[in-house]
């Protein structure tokens, strides 16, 4: 391969990942998804990859699974499912510490089976509405929503985008993945509750009781709610019995589009199309770099010499996840992990570390940014430092437990 092509591949890769790390380019309005798509097209335009090689680089199992889960979550949201959960919490809690526990439990459990970014998107305004009516400080509850959704999502392959990617790359069965990482999620949620309660002692270690709050009975679409819950339950069962997760997700999502009651455009608006574009573009960009720089021998040598130690692998994954975000970090590591002595265990470590590392700072995961942006839209300033004082120790403690467990 000509030297100019090799140089082009490196420049395109570095420029793409720089934009992903920064989130934008000065002057231009291009975002992360646009940068990934531009980088992918330049890999083809400069001859690093042929168009056929670019098509082959895309892992359509990942894209299809993500799309199917987004359709399911969109239907649950339109049916009023999340409003019902918030209404139930409002009627159940009597003290601030109980409210904290319920927010953590609901965010964590929902994120374990549904993509955590979408859970933050729908739960944040509902949590804010509830704590405003209760006249409480919204910050600790926003912290709980963001951090618990990240922690809960570590439990399964369908919990977050990077786990979806890892599930496709590793071929680890859904049940085995859950058995390995559910304990990490459970302990992580407990640690999360303790740290937030300690950080906001005046809010939670008091004798305050909530006055009775009049919360209107939520509007919901009965037939759509029943249909969505049945489809979701069947999907989860099929996941655990070993059916291909991508096939189950897209069939379930497509079936939910077969309806006389809901305009499909309402569902399509709920889908995170830029995230799908980001995945497709990054697959091609990383494939271009692999072709010119990461030969099988290089991948094996790097894996044995530097990433064979579980703690080092977790540390590298956590750092990369905070520098370039977790999905790009996983794609960077996918050439090295299969060459390690125990690839399945290594993939579980990468899933654990890349997910829990998202709690380190406010910009550590898309889920955190969604919570911050939704809060700001409602006049609540969710600052970097308010997040960091809980997020940083939470990340260290949960990854440490994850390493001990795995």
Q: Which among 12, 164, 179 has a CA at the least distance from the CA of 73? A: 164
What is the C-alpha separation between 403 and 406, in angstroms, rounded? 5
Cβ atoms of 394 and 359 within 8 Å: the answer is yes
The reported pLDDT for the residue numbered 134 is 80
The reported pLDDT for the residue numbered 37 is 92
Give the three-class secondary structure for 24. coil
The reported pLDDT for the residue numbered 1 is 62
Sign of CA dihedral 180, 183, 186, 187: negative
Cβ atoms of 253 and 259 within 8 Å: the answer is no
pTM: 0.83
Which residue in this structure is represented by tokens 């979550």? Answer: 73
**Of all residues in the chain, what percent are helix, strand and coil, respectively (each to 5)?**
80, 0, 20
State both tokens at 86. 């918030």
- DSSP label at residue 26: S
What is the C-alpha separation between 330 and 308, in angstroms, rounded? 16
The reported pLDDT for the residue numbered 104 is 93
What is the C-alpha separation between 242 and 84, in angstroms, rounded? 31
- Ordered mean pLDDT values, 10 residues apiece, the chain (406 residues): 80 84 74 88 91 89 88 89 81 82 91 86 85 85 92 91 88 92 95 92 76 65 87 92 89 89 85 86 86 62 61 87 79 82 90 91 78 80 83 93 90
What is the C-alpha separation between 18 and 209, in angstroms, rounded? 49
Which residue in this structure is represented by tokens 């359709």? Answer: 71
């Amino acid at each position: 391969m000509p030297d100019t092509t090799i140089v082009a591949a490196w420049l395109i890769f570095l420029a793409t990942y720089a934009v992903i790390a920064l989130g934008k380019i000065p002057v231009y309005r291009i975002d992360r998804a646009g940068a990934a798509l531009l980088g992918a097209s330049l890999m083809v335009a400069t001859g690093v990859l042929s168009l056929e090689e670019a098509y082959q680089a895309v892992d359509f199992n990942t894209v299809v699974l993500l799309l199917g889960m987004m359709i399911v979550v969109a239907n649950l949201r339109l049916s009023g499912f999340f409003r019902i959960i918030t209404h139930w919490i409002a009627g159940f809690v009597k003290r601030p510490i109980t409210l904290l526990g319920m927010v953590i439990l609901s965010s964590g459990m929902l994120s374990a089976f549904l993509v955590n970014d979408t859970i933050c998107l729908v739960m944040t305004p509902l949590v804010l509405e509830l704590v405003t009516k209760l006249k409480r400080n919204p910050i600790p509850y926003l912290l709980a929503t963001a951090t618990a959704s990240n922690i809960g999502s570590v439990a399964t392959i369908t919990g977050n985008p990077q786990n979806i990617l890892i599930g496709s790359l590793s071929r680890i069965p859904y049940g085995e993945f859950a058995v390995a990482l559910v304990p990490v999620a459970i302990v992580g949620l407990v640690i999360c509750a303790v740290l937030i309660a300690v950080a906001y002692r005046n809010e939670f270690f008091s004798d305050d009781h909530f006055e009775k709050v009049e919360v209107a009975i939520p509007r919901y679409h009965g037939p759509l709610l029943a249909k969505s819950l049945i489809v979701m339950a069947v999907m989860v069962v099929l996941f655990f019995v070993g059916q291909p997760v991508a096939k189950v997700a897209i069939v379930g999502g497509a079936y939910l589009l077969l309806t006389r009651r809901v305009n499909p455009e309402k569902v399509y608006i709920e889908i995170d199309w830029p995230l799908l574009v980001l995945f497709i573009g990054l697959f091609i960009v990383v494939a271009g770099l692999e072709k010119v720089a990461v030969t099988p021998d290089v991948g094996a040598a790097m894996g044995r010499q530097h990433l064979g130690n579980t703690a080092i692998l977790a540390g590298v994954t956590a750092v990369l996840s905070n520098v370039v975000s977790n999905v790009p970090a996983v794609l960077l590591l996918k050439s090295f992990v299969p060459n390690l002595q125990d690839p399945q265990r290594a993939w579980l470590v990468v899933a654990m570390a890349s997910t829990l590392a998202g709690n380190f700072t406010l910009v550590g995961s898309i889920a955190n940014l969604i919570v911050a942006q939704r809060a700001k839209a409602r006049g609540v300033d969710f600052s970097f430092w308010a997040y960091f004082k809980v997020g940083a120790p939470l990340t260290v403690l949960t990854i440490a437990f994850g390493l001990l467990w795995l």
